[in-house]
Amino acid sequence: DARVTQTPRHKVTEMGQEVTMRCQPILGHNTVFWYRQTMMQGLELLAYFRNRAPLDDSGMPKDRFSAEMPDATLATLKIQPSEPRDSAVYFCASGLALVVANEQFFGPGTRLTVL
Amino acid sequence: SQKIEQNSEALNIQEGKTATLTCNYTNYSPAYLQWYRQDPGRGPVFLLLIRENEKEKRKERLKVTFDTTLKQSLFHITASQPADSATYLCALENSGGYQKVTFGTGTKLQVIP
């Protein structure tokens, strides 16, 4: 059955290293979201793409985070350099933008630990 | 400022009873509201969507109400089962557009056998 996939599922890295997380949205979906989830802040939207174009990345620290969609089957979220405060679970979600509503299908997440 | 409030305290309920979770919001005028379920170690899963002109929506044992005057949504699970134990998140359409939603922090439900 169709589902969003994310790699890696777990990542442990040292402060200052580059981290790249990948997401394959559900085929046919035209919206992609990147979220970060922590106990304190809950689910925070980092970036939002529609038809591969970035529509909103206001939730993302611009100096170290970048998000791209090189093609319709791949979305990436990069952190460079990583910091301990970036430790969180990062979720990718995809959806099909209709007139009003946008049900989101979430991937399993990447659990990032920055030491 | 905009705020979405869900009970941060866990809700414990006896199996077979109706669980009621609350989502209150301020400074939003959402066209719709969504409810998601999240199990430990997994991504949220969509459950229900209710539009601003709908008072109530049902799906099997789930019922959602949406009161735009009170700025509140209630999420009910009738005949609750231990398998319903999870964290439940409400999500509101963000008036910034693009069909972007903002999530509440969720309420953890524990159904006790």
For residue range A56-77, what is the model confidence (pLDDT) as tens digits? 888 898 899 999 999 999 999 9
Q: How far is CA A45 from CA A35, B57, B59, in A?
A: 5, 27, 28
What is the overall mean pLDDT for chain A? Answer: 93
Q: What is the pLDDT of residue A108?
A: 97
**Shortest CB distance from B43 goes to which of A56, A101, A109?**
A109
Q: How far is CA A103 from CA A31, A33, A83, A100, A110, in A?
A: 10, 11, 32, 10, 21
Encoded tokens for A109: 């997440």
3-class SS of residue B82: helix
Question: How distant is the Cα of A110 from the closest Cα of chain B, in angstroms?
Answer: 10
How far apart are alpha carbons B83 and B47 in whole angstroms? Answer: 15
Q: What is the pLDDT of residue B25?
A: 94
Per-residue pLDDT band at B95 (split at 50, 70, 90): low
How far apart are alpha carbons A87 and A115 in whole angstroms? Answer: 8
* pLDDT average, residue stretch A10-17: 98
How far apart are alpha carbons B72 and B23 in whole angstroms? Answer: 6
Q: What is the pLDDT of residue B28?
A: 85
* pLDDT average, residue stretch B76-103: 87
Q: What is the percent of chain A with per-residue pLDDT over 90, rounded to a whole number?
A: 77
Contact state of B99 with A107 under an 8 Å Cβ cutoff: no
Contact state of A101 with B96 under an 8 Å Cβ cutoff: no
Contact state of A45 with B98 under an 8 Å Cβ cutoff: no
**Shortest CB distance from B49 goes to which of A56, A101, A109?**
A101
- At which residue do the structure tokens 């997380």 appear? A21
Q: Suggest the residue from A104, A105, A110 to mutate for an interface test with chain B (most B CBs closer than 10 A).
A: A104
Write b or e for each residue in A42-74: b if 16 or more Cβ atoms lie within 10 A of its Cβ, otherwise e.
bbebbbbbbeeeebbbebbeeeebbbebeeeee
- At which residue do the structure tokens 């442990």 appear? A12
Q: What is the pLDDT of residue A98?
A: 66
| Whether the predicted pLDDT of B99 surpasses 70 | no
Encoded tokens for B57: 């929506």
How far apart are alpha carbons B60 and B73 in whole angstroms? Answer: 18
